[in-house]
């Protein structure tokens, strides 16, 4: 009977190996950072939007003409869509086992996130620049 292959790595060393792609820890931390960043960003943006509920276009345009409000909106969009992309990627990698389907799904999700996020960012920039 053949002996199992022995490794010189301790269990802790194997755990710190970052997985087969060597990028798992970075992905994990970026997802956590975006989640934490979204707490104050979303609350502030929701307060701004609630304050503007029922306002006319000129009032909304003036509010988003403020650099702080526009920056808040753009940072929220960036953090939210990046967080969504990372979370979706984890789900697809965990539950889609066929490599072709996995690649196609990841490409479609990434494309959709960039398109919708880009449209949201352009809307904020249009309000900011008064177009």
User: What are the residue ranges spanned by the domains of the chain?
Assistant: 27-129
Is the predicted pLDDT of residue 22 greater than 80, yes or no?
no
Query: For the chain, what is the largest distance between any 2 Cα atoms, rounded to a whole number of angstroms?
Result: 81
Angstrom distance (rounded) from CA 83 to CA 130? 29
* pLDDT, tens digit, 9 for 90 and up, residues 48-83: 999 999 999 999 999 999 999 999 999 999 999 999
**What is residue 10's predicted lDDT score, i.e. its pLDDT?**
62
For a pLDDT cut of 70, what percent of the chain falls above it?
82
Is the predicted pLDDT of residue 13 greater than 60, yes or no?
no
User: Which phi and psi angles does 60 have, rounded to 5°?
Assistant: -65, -40
CATH topology of domain 27-129: 3 helical TM bundles of succinate and fumarate reductases (1.20.1300)
**What is residue 18's predicted lDDT score, i.e. its pLDDT?**
46
Best CA proximity match to 71, nearest among 2, 115, 23, 128: 128
What b-and-e string marks burial along 93-109, b requiring 16 or more CB atoms within 10 Å of the CB? eeeeeeeeeeeebbeeb
């Amino acid at each position: 009977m053949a002996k199992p292959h022995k490794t010189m790595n301790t269990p802790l060393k194997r755990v710190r190996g970052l997985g087969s792609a060597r990028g798992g820890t970075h992905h994990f931390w970026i997802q956590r950072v975006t989640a934490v960043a979204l707490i104050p960003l979303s609350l502030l943006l929701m307060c701004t939007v609630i304050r503007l509920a029922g306002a006319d276009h000129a009032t909304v345009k003036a509010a988003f003409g403020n650099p702080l409000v526009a920056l808040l909106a753009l940072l929220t969009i960036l953090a939210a869509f990046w967080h969504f992309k990372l979370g979706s990627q984890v789900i697809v990698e965990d539950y889609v086992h066929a490599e072709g389907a996995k690649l196609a799904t990841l490409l479609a999700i990434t494309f959709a996130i960039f398109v919708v996020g880009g449209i949201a960012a352009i809307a904020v920039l249009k309000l900011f620049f008064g177009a």
